[in-house]
Amino acid sequence: MSDKEKAEACEKILERIRREILPLIDKAINDDTVYFENPHLIQCWSKKNCTHAKCSLLGKEAVRCWQTAGTYCGGLAQGNFVDKHRNCTQCDVFIEACPTLVEELGEYLNNLFYLLRMQKGLAKNNAERIEYLNRELLSSLANLDNKNREIQELVITDKLTGLYNRHYLLSVLEDELFRCERKDYIFSLLMLDIDDFKSINDIYGHLSGDSILSELGIMIKEVLRKYDRCFRYGGEEFVIVLPETDMTIAWMIAERLRKQFSQKNFMLRRSETDSPESVSRTVSIGYTTYQAGMTINQLLEVVDEALYTAKSGGKNQVVRSNEF
């Protein structure tokens, strides 16, 4: 071949590269389906007279065996594209598919596209997996937060009445005293006790007594404002914290509780065989308003003294503390 013929052949190759190869690179940026179309591809199983039944390409139209995992070249199982690429590009099946530099460049470009798209798909799958795991994590954290709140609620709640317990009362009173120290803030405290409650347990049994305590808890919730808080202080005694409440409002709330409870009738049985009897009880209530300098213990002692006065003075009444 003369120099002129060689130059003409090179020019043809370059022209094909410009026409067939370079445009693919630009198209592939936005199109994952772009491939160099090679008319010289041959089927490896046909070329090598392969009959290995486990080969993933046996009898199929697919021709780029170097991009297909699970083939059995030479009777040996082949791995994925990355593992087998080097050997496959030296195979006569690949070589015969690339009679000129254009086809060879095209196939190498196809391999590059394939690898990049495989990595892109893997990255997408990983991103979706991470997003899924993030959603699962957020959901788990939300569930954990809800469970923690439920547990916290159980810790501070009296199981029988559904009101807060005595332990939580001390924490609430600490907060109330702290508010009083920081600004012009007042709050009042009620302490109430069911009159002659022991006789209920003695005559009708402790289950009947528990039912009355439970009913009182429900009634208190209905009477109080949404920001008031009530606690089962012990036995049949209850303490109610009334934020932003002076003596007058405290007395009105206490009176409402006293009247409503005294008007309620409970149907109780002395035994399983006895007919139910209508039974009512009353409550005695002591109340006070926080005064500057008081400690929690002093506040509880003052309201307890008011309750004692109500009990010893005839019961079924509301008595204000003398400490104000």
Residues designated catalytic: 236
- The values of phi and psi at residue 305, to 5°, are -65, -40
SS3 labels along 43-77: CHHHHCCCCCCCCCCCCCCCCCHHHCCCCEECCEE
Query: What is the distance in angstroms between the CA of the first residue and the CA of the last residue of the chain?
Result: 121
Contact 70, 78 (CB under 8 A): yes
Strand ranges (DSSP E) for the chain? 72-73, 76-77, 164-165, 187-194, 229-234, 237-243, 266-268, 277-279, 283-289, 318-320
Q: Measure the CA–CA gap between 114 and 268, rounded to whole angstroms.
A: 83
**Greatest Cα-to-Cα distance within the chain, rounded to the nearest angstrom:** 132
Count CB-CB contacts under 10 A for residue 111. Answer: 18
Q: Both tokens of residue 113?
A: 């596209």
